[in-house]
Structure 1
Amino acid sequence: MDFVFQDLDMTALINEAVKENSPFATTHKNTLRFEHPDLPLNVSADFNRTKQVMANLISNACKYSDPETEVLIKAEQLDGKVIVYIQNRGPGIPENFKPLMFQAFSQADSSDTRAKGGTGLGLNITKQIVSRHQGEIGFESAPDGITVFWFTYPSNDEDDMNDPIAAPNVKRLPRRGKARVLHIEDDLDFAEVVKSGLSKVADVTHAGNLEEARRCIENGNLDMLIVDWSLPDGDAAVLLDDINDRLPNVTVLGLSSDGNRRRDSRVTVNLEKSRTELSTIAEYVSSRVANAS
């Protein structure tokens, strides 16, 4: 999925999503109500993908609501995050299905639930979109009662970003700008995921082989290298001497299928792709820029 991040007011976006999804709620004999927060909720987000998140969660709430009930949407800013809640009243989520909620092609295995339709991909896609925004998603559900789905995005509010008491766990870049990162990776899809996932903290340049990587290193002006050691034209370890000569202060982060393979004092940390969240990489990048300022 392509992502275009921009500064948005989540309140305005939710308003638009509620208007667009109200006809769907009507067909299920429900109504939508948005409790507006007092202040704008500023985030850096992809407008269309975030509306996709809202549409998936609102439609899901409507499909599994009791007739003639209200689906309530709330939003707030708390501890450096914007949190959005979608609440409905209905039969609730079966206990044995809760661990499978965000897995692809998952649907609760009752005839009534199956009759609601769908591919079983909506919540899985929703979680992926939220993750690409460095956010979290979850839910709480009671049998024959209230079910609440929620998701978070990092707040883009300047006061909150720079207040260590209000947002102790939120990594922010200093005023000098984004980190300059070279990602050496032959998997184009994974490279695009990393570039999108780091877009808030870094300007990422991609090199798919040793030749491209050498040209980028020669040009200099980098804060960090993220390296997959196995490339089509050789082992990226041969670049370490060039890096050391031309970019002696650059941080080298290994990100490969085998996080323990590369042992070298010039490599700050090695991570395994399948076990590393993009938020972890973003924290390393943010910390590097902060220390360099």
Structure 2
Amino acid sequence: MISSMTGYATRSQSTSYGTLTLELRAVNNRFLDIQLRLPDDFRALEPKIREHIAQQLYRGKIECRLNFTPHSAIENPQALNSALLQKLLELNTAVKTSLPEAADLSVAEVLNWPGMLGNNTLSIDALHQNILALLQSVLPDLKAARMREGEKLQAVLLERVTRMRQHVDAILPRIPALIAAFDEKLTTRLQEALNHLDDDRIRQEITIYAAKIDIDEELSRLQTHLDEVERILNTGGAAGKRLDFLMQELNREANTIGSKSVDIDISKIAMELKVLIEQIREQVQNIE
């Protein structure tokens, strides 16, 4: 399947330190452009996050936004452990009862007591592993969303290709009739103007005219390009750049058909082909 460059995915994970939320948004871009929105504490992860994304995605503007909501004890690491403080007071009283000469605990000693400011101090290194694991779970969601969009694009593009083939099929039967009509018209006019003109000269003029309006080669190349568009769409993978190139080639053939046309209906068909090619080209810009 082909993949669109547009998609969105998000996941959250609860850790012992707080809740991590990772969002990935993707839109069209000529190349892979990764933009990170990370809290300052996690800036060191930027190279690894970029590496992980680049391994999975090939084109598009990717915005990766990380939010971290710490637990209250982490958010206010200076909060005292009330239970432990009460226990120290009780122990201090018991010691003073047994040893009246013993010195009281100082404020610094109380604050530095293990666990007094909580054991839930933020571990950045531990959260780094959580973040990378969360990224690995979100990336498949984003790819799936882009593939769902790509499936819709594929259906639209194949429908446009079918319509282009119908227009080409409408042109082919008209060419012999145009040449035959010109044959009859030119023969009549030349014979009226120059009664002595021989049939060889008439045939020569008709041959020159037929060569000028001959679009068999353009139609053949156009059909070949349409075959390749269908093959790429059905093969899948990163197809955007190849399809964009084919749109240029298709447009070139449609322009030539229009410029060679001496028939109003063929001119109209050439215009319809150009409209369809432009519609396909606009959609191709969304394909990875």
Q: TM-score, normalised by structure 1?
A: 0.26
Whichever structure has more strand as a proportion of its residues is 1
Whichever structure has more helix as a proportion of its residues is 2
Look at both structures and tell me which one has the larger radius of gyration over its CA atoms: 2
